[in-house]
Chains A and B, each alone.
Chain A
């Protein structure tokens, strides 16, 4: 008798949050990210019996599915661009929300490669080793690339001024799941 495969969706609450955060860092928060998240879990439900725990954690497994869904969307409709929410005017929303939107807008200005790294690390909450497996990089290479991405993000955040006029960023859709 083989060892019973664990259910990768045994704790869906934490997984839905990390998948959505990953997708939203890639696409921008909103309906598109929600659609992709729903699609990811629809596929995960279909494939849950074929999940192999020896090949990665449930979070890494779902993130891999999410990357493929994003790649398919990009290939089907390259004209779709992500809407990053407007930077909210102070006073309209809670400070926390304003800060979150500012961070998302700053992430959206990064290159596709940097955005993917940031989304995998801080959205999906994967380790450098897990990211390395997904991107076929060594953990050290992932750490170095992330460090550079954070420096670019810092520069972007420092350039931001609270009084800046609202704007909409339109980052290009990711071309492929492996488009780094």
Chain B
């Protein structure tokens, strides 16, 4: 390397910058790709979480969620007579009460035998 006497250190500084080791293009692309995936990965995970949450809520809504049992119970032809011990005793009763459903079912079975 030829160096002039004038501002030799400045030339060395310039050479150190311009001739600094260069990363292999493939490795640079790989690292940048990995960094990009890591950045978008967070967004993708968030999107997936939102989609799953909305889907779960949608599915619950579609099937009636917590009120499904009670709702289905009222649609059941089994109760078209509108006579049930629970209703007779307590009126409308709490929605979705499993004891309520079981009690009415037992009443219906006993009623069929008679």
Chain A interface, DSSP helix/strand/loop, else mixed? helix
Check B38 against A24 for contact (C-beta < 8 Å): no
Size band of the interface chain B makes with A: 20 to 34
Q: Mark A95-129, 1 if CB is under 8 A from B, else 0.
A: 01001101110110000000000100111010000
Question: Please, which residue of chain B has its CB at the minimum distance from the CB of A24?
Answer: B21
Given contacts A37-B27, A150-B12, contact A160 B1 (CB under 8 A): yes
Given contacts A16-B28, A122-B13, contact A45 B21 (CB under 8 A): no
Check B23 against A37 for contact (C-beta < 8 Å): yes
Chain B interface, DSSP helix/strand/loop, else mixed? helix
Check A100 against B34 for contact (C-beta < 8 Å): no
Any A CB within 8 A of the CB of B106: no
Q: How far is the CA of A59 from the CA of B38 in the complex (A)?
A: 18
Check A34 against B21 for contact (C-beta < 8 Å): no
Q: Mark A6-49, 1 if CB is under 8 A from B, else 0.
A: 01010011001100110011000100011001100110110010
Size band of the interface chain A makes with B: 35 or more
Given contacts A9-B39, A34-B24, contact A150 B31 (CB under 8 A): no
Q: How far is the CA of A44 from the CA of B31 in the complex (A)?
A: 11
Any A CB within 8 A of the CB of B75: no
Check B27 against A38 for contact (C-beta < 8 Å): yes
Given contacts A7-B39, A150-B9, contact A12 B31 (CB under 8 A): yes
- Contact of A151 (CB < 8 Å), options: B3, B9, B32: B9
CB distance from A163 to the nearest CB of B (A): 13
Check B21 against A48 for contact (C-beta < 8 Å): no
Find residues 1-60 in chain B having any chain A CB closer than 8 Å to their own CB.
1, 3, 8-9, 12-13, 15-17, 19-24, 27-28, 30-32, 34-36, 38-39
CB distance from B19 to the nearest CB of A (A): 4
Nearest 5 interchain pairs by C-beta:
A24-B21, A20-B23, A122-B16, A29-B21, A100-B19
